Amino acid sequence: MKSFIVPIAVLLAAQIVRAQSWPDISTEVAPQGGGGQDAALVVGISDYVYLPAIPGAAENAAAWQQWLVRTRKVPGERVVILRDKEATREKILKNLSSLKSQVGPQGTVWFIFIGHGAPSPSGDDGLLLGADTDADADSLLARGLPQESIFQALDGTRGTPLVVFDACFSGKTADGTASLVKGLQATLPVRRVTAAREHATILSSSETFAGPLPRGDRPAFSYLILGALRGWGDSDGDREVTLDEAFAFARGTMQAGFQTDSRLPTKRGPSRVLAVNVQGGRPEVDAILLGRCPSGTAWEGFRCTDAGAVKVAVPLRKSFPPLTPLPKGERAGETRKEPRTGLTWVWIPPGEFLFGCEPHDSQCAPVEALLEKPTKKSVDGFWMLQTEVPVAAYATCKAAGACSGASLDVPEKTCNLANGRSQHPMNCVDHSSAAQFCAWVGGRLPTSREWQYAAKGGASRIYPWGDTPITGKRGNFCDQNCAHALNANNLEEWREKKWISESENDGFAATAPVGSYPAGSSIWGLLDMAGNVAEWTLTAYDTSAMQTRGGSWGSAPAHVRASHIGKDDPRSQDDGIGFRCARGVGGPTP
């Protein structure tokens, strides 16, 4: 059985081959639009006349310019780029004043600065240092451009200012290791919240660090924010990237790479949509940070894939029909029988919930924060099967000629169809075969957002039943019977990592018959949303894997939480993965 999220420690222990570095953010991506009323000034200074160079700053700026013009579709005449010696104090202010009048009332004024910074003499602001700033304290103060002057220049614009600072304002070099110039006292500026700042959205690298990517040579913060806007930050698969999603991706990646809170960026301003119509997944950050891929895999520019495997194109989101409203008088948790199989549909009402890891959940994994910064999300009402699809129901679909029999070819003793366990969940089933069954009963696989909303019951819950940790009475997970762990040679590691709970007994070595744990029911009556088998969703993890939810009989206790994110190749026939269906609106009510 495969692990759904492979811990970094496990990857390090594996035989590995070297991976390539961070993806190229200057390659073109599909047009997104949305920038028709925008204007932008992008500043990137790699080569200072007197100060230390910042490798990659000008290249990041050029990539930003390309994204704004080619992808966001900001008119080219309203995007100005200043690189290296062009980027002086006077030219920055002149171009800002000019662009302010060109933005539309619904547009965004973008200001991106990638270069050196320093503290102001008063200690209450940061200075942006132009390319011609001399290497002495007096020149820094005379030629430095206070942040406040940027906000004053943008004050009164008809659009919304969005400012990205990728600079270290403590008076040290970009990596925070040495003083920028002799005679300058390194200090952290204390920001004043002025009227000019009040109307701007501000994304800023750490006051003490604005250095390169871990295992990379580009300024980290501006690279990661742009990567997020290109599509890497779309954590919920809705083809939009919000301010919070972009920031969460950048912050989470930097936290994972630098392993410290002292180098993390900050943001100020309400969340709003920054990119629309995004496509593609995100790079496999763990492999980049490790610099290697597991044995038998190769780096494909974004992620590690099986050597020689056929690349599978997985859309971020599939279209599906809208939901049929429930007949008058029906309520959350109301049920209907599916006529072909006798399975039970449960009505999940529309609502809003906190998508992502709950703030009070101490077991949140870094990948959860990376993919899904906790954000309020709305969900339309839909029907969902009460249980995971059992073998008997899948066999009925197969007999009708509507479902593939491919899973019969999986002989492992833990695969239920091949071994006649009719009331156990249909496992060892690939994503396509699961989708076939759901279409046969008039439904589809749920999105990751829908699945989590249903599991949490639309409220703040760590598990489907509440915040109480899982026990052997509530669900099927890796307990004292867990064959996957007990047959492993690294049982001691499982114990140390708390991937097994030997004090619990769920009664089964592998899967259990569906619906065996009524004590683990969700508030709306859904069963087995924690453990038994992880469940395929419609949401892509990246361009070669789909998200799974809920964890399985072989999962650690922490991996059966409602917010936990699993992944697998859609072609996989894993004994720990099954599915349940959702029914979108558009056909008759079940």
pLDDT at 291: 74
In order along the chain (590 residues), what is the average pLDDT of each group of 10 residues?
35 37 87 93 93 92 94 93 93 89 91 89 80 81 86 86 89 66 50 56 79 86 94 83 89 78 81 85 78 71 60 35 40 84 93 89 77 81 95 93 66 84 94 91 91 93 92 92 67 77 88 94 94 93 87 91 92 93 62
Is the domain of 82 the same as that of 203? yes
In a domain, 249, yes or no: no
Is the domain of 345 the same as that of 446? yes
State the helix-helix crossing angle for 147-154 and 89-100, rounded to 10 degrees. 20
Is the domain of 207 the same as that of 342? no
Neighbours of 362 (CB within 10 A): 8
Is the domain of 343 the same as that of 461? yes
**Where would I find the H helices in 78-199?**
89-100, 137-143, 147-154, 195-198
Is the domain of 469 the same as that of 558? yes
- First-residue to last-residue Cα distance in the chain: 35
Which structural domain range is residue 88 located in?
32-233+259-269
Is the domain of 265 the same as that of 340? no
In a domain, 239, yes or no: no
In a domain, 207, yes or no: yes
Strand (E) or helix (H) holding 193 = none
Asked whether the beta carbons of 469 and 479 are under 8 A apart, the reply is: no
Tell me the pTM: 0.55
Burial class of residue 142 in the structure, from the number of CB atoms within 10 Å of its CB (0-12 exposed, 13-18 middle, 19+ buried): exposed
pLDDT at 54: 92
Q: What is the 3-state secondary structure (H, E, C) of 469-536?
A: CCCCCCCECCECCCHHHHCCCCHHHHHHCCCCECCCCCCCCCCCCCCCCHHHCCCCCCCCCCECCEEE
Integer Cα distance of 5 and 422 in angstroms: 29
Is the domain of 264 the same as that of 370? no
Residues counted in the chain: 590
pLDDT at 177: 64
Query: DSSP letter at 172?
Result: B
Residue ending a domain, among 251, 269, 287, is 269
Is the domain of 565 the same as that of 433? yes
Q: Which of 59, 55, 43, 87 is nearest to 175 (CA)?
A: 55
Integer Cα distance of 397 and 98 in angstroms: 65
Integer Cα distance of 472 and 189 in angstroms: 53
Asked whether the beta carbons of 514 and 527 are under 8 A apart, the reply is: yes
Strand (E) or helix (H) holding 190 = none
Sign of the torsion angle spanned by Cα atoms 243, 244, 246, 247:
positive
Asked whether the beta carbons of 479 and 504 are under 8 A apart, the reply is: yes
Determine phi and psi for 130, rounding to 5 degrees: -70, 170
pLDDT at 343: 95
| Tokens 């990379």 sit on residue | 216
Is the domain of 122 the same as that of 205? yes
Is the domain of 547 the same as that of 449? yes
Determine phi and psi for 304, rounding to 5 degrees: -85, 130
**Where would I find the H helices in 3-146?**
8-13, 57-66, 89-100, 137-143
Q: What is the 3-state secondary structure (H, E, C) of 32-45?
A: CCCCCCCEEEEEEC
CB under 8 Å to 401, separation ≥6 — which residues? none
Is the domain of 347 the same as that of 493? yes
| Tokens 């250095």 sit on residue | 211
Report angle CA 218, 364, 486 to the nearest 5 degrees.
Answer: 110
In this structure, what CATH number is given to the domain that contains residue 359?
3.90.1580.10
In a domain, 14, yes or no: no
In this structure, what CATH number is given to the domain that contains residue 206?
3.40.50.1460
Residue ending a domain, among 217, 242, 269, is 269
Residue ending a domain, among 249, 269, 289, is 269
In a domain, 466, yes or no: yes
In a domain, 546, yes or no: yes
Query: DSSP letter at 578?
Result: E
pLDDT at 122: 67
In a domain, 476, yes or no: yes
> Based on the structure, what is the number of domains in the chain?
2
- Amino acid letter, 264: L
Query: DSSP letter at 262?
Result: T
Q: What share of the chain is helix, strand, coil (3-state, %, to 5)?
A: 25, 20, 55
Helix (H, G, I), strand (E, B) or coil at 196: helix
In a domain, 313, yes or no: no
Is the domain of 184 the same as that of 110? yes
Burial class of residue 105 in the structure, from the number of CB atoms within 10 Å of its CB (0-12 exposed, 13-18 middle, 19+ buried): exposed
